[in-house]
Amino acid sequence: MSNKNREKFYLIEKNACPEVFRKVIEVKDGIRKKVYPSINQAVKEVGISRSAYYKYHKSVYSYQGSDLDSVDIFNIISEVDLVSPLDVLLIFNENSAKIISIQQSPVTRGRSTIQIICRNLSKVRAGKIIQGLQKINGIIQVNHNAIRS
């Protein structure tokens, strides 16, 4: 791949960005946090046009910093006939987990292990996930390891 085809990224301090970029990020955050019911409402509240939002929404991102980077690894042993992987994934979805990997072991004696790896999960959300998983009928064991930088 030549250098011409590679995308280039710049990390710019918030105050140095044009106001429209900051407002696009504000709209994106408001939609993600469900502050606004629609993009139309969000752009009106923030004070930019829909066309400005759509022009930049795929190009402008906020950056939280590497000090928040973490990896959480969940190993869940379950009875295959009682637990659906979908039930397990719903617990992660309810807690806004950023799943980066899912693996399920082959079934042995009616049991299987599901390994789920997440990024940037707070300790509180990890605890809620563990509690939610333990409430599912057929979950035998939940092991959790966190790697925080």
Domain boundaries, the chain: 14-56, 68-148
Core vs surface per residue 108-138: b (16+ CB within 10 A) or e: eeebbbbebbbeebeeebbebbbebbeebee
Q: How confident is the model at residue 147 (pLDDT cuts 50, 70, 90)?
A: confident
Q: How confident is the model at residue 6 (pLDDT cuts 50, 70, 90)?
A: low
Please give the Cα distance from 28 to 62 (Å, whole number): 10
Neighbours of 103 (CB within 10 A): 10
- For the chain, the maximum distance between any two Cα atoms, rounded to a whole number of angstroms, is 60
- Sign of the C-alpha dihedral computed for residues 148, 8, 62 and 99 taken in this order: negative
Does residue 49 sit in helix, strand or coil? coil
Residue 118 pLDDT: 94
Pick the more confident residue, 3 or 15.
Answer: 15
Is the model's pLDDT at 128 over the cut of 50?
yes
Is the model's pLDDT at 112 over the cut of 90?
yes
- Give pTM, 2 decimals: 0.55
Residue 109 pLDDT: 93
Is the model's pLDDT at 3 over the cut of 60?
no
Residue 83 pLDDT: 87
Residue 97 pLDDT: 92
Of the candidate CATH numbers 3.30.70.260, 3.40.109.10, 3.40.1390.20, 3.40.50.300, the domain formed by 68-148 belongs to 3.30.70.260
Q: What pLDDT digit, counting tens, does each position of 7-63 carry?
A: 677 778 888 889 999 999 999 999 989 999 999 999 999 999 999 999 999 889 887
3-state secondary structure 77-116: EEECCCCCHHHHHHHHHHCCCEEEEEEECCCECCEEEEEE
Q: How confident is the model at residue 1 (pLDDT cuts 50, 70, 90)?
A: very low
Pick the more confident residue, 84 or 139.
Answer: 139
User: For residues 20 and 48, is the Cβ–Cβ distance under 8 A?
Assistant: yes
